[in-house]
Structure 1
Amino acid sequence: MIKRLVDRLIFGGLLIATLQIPMLADHYLQYLSGFFDANTQQVDAYTANARRHGFDSAESMIDALLQEPNPIVRVDAEHKLEILRQHHMLEQAMETLSNGHLLDKALFMFNPVRLDELKRVLVHFKPGLPIDVESIAFCIVVALGLNLMLYLPLLLCRRLRKNNSRPAASPN
């Protein structure tokens, strides 16, 4: 009886933990949205400035600035180039967090490369429950899988003990 209670408590804890993943993904998306909007404004300003001065794109303007002999101009161009790279990465992140499957979102968020960013998101995260059926179903399946993975070694050990404790059949 106690084993069943412990099993149910562990499953309940796993389910509550996995139900936080969709909520965290939404929170992460909101966090990146503000950063993406500010970054997009900068990239748009670079593009407008490039066109105003006869360049086809912000990248071609930056390439020209990187060729300038003045080091301050080159440093500024490198900064602009980094903003463009960030913008490209943010576009991919927004796509994943907006339209990706929950597994893709989780892999994105829990990538060790983004650990510092995840920590900043978690500072303001409040636990909750998702309201879409797909997320709930996915979380139940994941919680059941994790629960099984936790208990599989115990079940195997119990079966091995049971098989070893049986008396060996006599050869007679």
Structure 2
Amino acid sequence: MIFKTLDKLFFGVTLVLALQVPQLADHYQQFLAGMYESSQWQIEGYQATAKKYNYASVDAMIAHHLQNEVPSVRDDAIQKQKTIIQYNELSEGLSVFQNGNIIEKLIFMLSPSGWQYIDNTLENFKFGLPITTEGILFGVLFGLFLNLLVSAPTSMIAKKQRERKQQKAIRKRPVSNSKV
């Protein structure tokens, strides 16, 4: 009886937590979009500067600045390279979030390049229920999966223990010799 109650409680908790994943993915996508737009604005500035000073590309301008004798110019070029790398990672991430399913989004969020933004996303995250069919379906299926993952081994162990107790009880019963 207690096991069944705990099993239902555990399923309820896992269901509620699993339903948060689609919500978190939506918040994460909004955060990525903001970072992407900010990075894009910076890169457009780099492109305008490269064009203004007759560089073939932003990469050519950065390569030239890396050769400069002034340390601040070299550091600025390194920062520009990092911004471009970040922009490319954000582009890949947004592509996953615009075209991928919930599993692909979750994998991206948990990847090394995606993990760096989880803390920022969680700062503004509020629990809620997804309003998409995909989100609800994911929550229910993932909740069931986690519940089965935990409860199946536990119920098997409990069943084996009951069977052992029954076997011991059968062995301990006195055999009666009744004459008819």
- TM-score when normalising by structure 1: 0.86
Distance 2:15 2:139 in 1: 6
Equivalence for 1:158 = 158
State the 1:115 CA deviation.
Answer: 4.9
Give 1:141's aligned amino acid.
L
In structure 2, the CA distance between the partners of 1:112 and 1:80, relative to structure 1 (3 Å rule), is closer
Give 1:154's aligned amino acid.
T
Gaps of 5+ in 2: 172-180
Equivalence for 2:145 = 145
**Higher mean Cα deviation, 79-88 or 47-56?**
47-56
* 2:28 is aligned with 1:28: yes
Pairwise CA RMSD: 2.1
Equivalence for 1:7 = 7
Distance 2:43 2:65 in 1: 16
* 2:9 is aligned with 1:16: no
Give 2:55's aligned amino acid.
F
In structure 2, the CA distance between the partners of 1:127 and 1:84, relative to structure 1 (3 Å rule), is same
Give 2:125's aligned amino acid.
F
State the 1:80 CA deviation.
Answer: 0.9
* 2:135 is aligned with 1:135: yes
Percent identity for Structure 1 against Structure 2: 33
- Report SS of the residue matched to 2:128: coil
User: How many residues were matched structurally?
Assistant: 168
- Report SS of the residue matched to 1:30: helix
Q: For the Cα contact (< 8 Å) 2:89–2:113, is it kept in 1?
A: no
Give 2:63's aligned amino acid.
D
State the 1:42 CA deviation.
Answer: 0.6
- TM-score when normalising by structure 2: 0.83
**Higher mean Cα deviation, 116-125 or 104-113?**
104-113
**Higher mean Cα deviation, 108-117 or 86-95?**
108-117
Give 2:44's aligned amino acid.
D
Equivalence for 2:54 = 54
Give 1:32's aligned amino acid.
L
Equivalence for 2:40 = 40
Give 1:26's aligned amino acid.
D
Equivalence for 1:109 = 109
1:75-125 Cα deviation digits (max 9, x unpaired): 111111111111111111212222222112122223466555312211111
* 2:111 is aligned with 1:77: no
- Report SS of the residue matched to 1:87: helix
State the 1:72 CA deviation.
Answer: 2.1
